[in-house]
């Protein structure tokens, strides 16, 4: 069958599309409060979501960027709350320095323990992460209960993450968990409100890993 159309496919290369997109983001975002080091994260979050409101809602601990870059370059692991983060992140730049991307939420022992304690797998996965991945970057985009449990463990002195990227999406406890994260005196990247998600956390992680690679 012969399909006739006036549609002409774009011939621009992917790198050019990304560059054009980033320039459009910069033009449309205009003046902003972010530092030169923070802006690549903001830019990639907006690029991943096409949501300027979300981009403007990002909040950074003053040492967040350096802490994340240093953790990647030391080969520390990334601990994600769900597989979507593990699948989406550009793992090659994490692997390059000896790190890995870990997810524990679907492990059989996590499922069994969650049933035994009548709690969520997200909570138990954070407890397992402490036993198996000391320090590291915690990347939470889906489960507010994981973020709240991690915050509790930090407050009680059990957890000492190098960086928390906490941007769970949703209606139940999502915004509240981020409000609690803002109270911690450890490096974090978060946002205000209900928006977020695994794609957003992946964008922030990828921005950090690119900056870590450039620092070499």
Q: Rounded distance, CA 70 to CA 64, Å?
A: 10
Nearest to 205, CA basis, from 164, 176, 172: 164
> How many other CB atoms are found less than 10 A from the CB of residue 110?
22
- Bridge partners, 102 (sequence order): 79
Beta bridge partners of 166: 140, 190
Would you give the DSSP letter of residue 167? -
Q: Which residues are catalytic?
A: 47
From CA 26, how far away is CA 100, in angstroms rounded?
32
Its sign, for the CA torsion 161, 165, 171, 175, is positive
Query: 10 Å Cβ neighbour count for 100?
Result: 15
Distance CA 94, CA 98 (A): 7
Distance CA 215, CA 40 (A): 14
């Amino acid at each position: 069958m012969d399909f006739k159309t006036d549609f002409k496919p774009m011939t621009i290369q992917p790198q050019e599309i990304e560059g054009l997109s980033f320039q459009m983001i910069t033009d449309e975002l205009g003046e902003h409060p972010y530092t030169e080091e923070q802006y690549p994260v903001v830019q990639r979050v907006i690029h991943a979501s096409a949501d300027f409101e979300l981009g403007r809602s990002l909040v950074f601990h003053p040492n967040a960027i350096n802490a994340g870059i240093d953790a990647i370059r030391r080969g520390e692991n990334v601990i994600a709350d769900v597989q979507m983060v593990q699948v989406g992140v550009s793992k090659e730049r994490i692997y390059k320095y000896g790190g890995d991307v870990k997810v524990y939420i679907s492990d059989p022992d996590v499922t069994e323990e969650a049933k035994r304690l009548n709690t969520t797998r997200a909570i138990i996965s954070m407890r397992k992460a402490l036993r198996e991945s000391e320090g590291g970057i915690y990347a939470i985009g889906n489960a507010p209960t994981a973020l709240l449990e991690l915050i509790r463990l930090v407050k009680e002195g059990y957890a000492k993450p190098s960086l928390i990227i906490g941007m769970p999406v949703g209606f139940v406890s999502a915004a509240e968990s981020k409000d609690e994260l803002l109270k911690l005196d450890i490096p974090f990247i978060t946002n205000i409100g209900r928006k977020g998600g695994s794609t957003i956390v992946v964008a922030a992680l990828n921005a950090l890993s690119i900056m870590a690679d450039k620092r070499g």
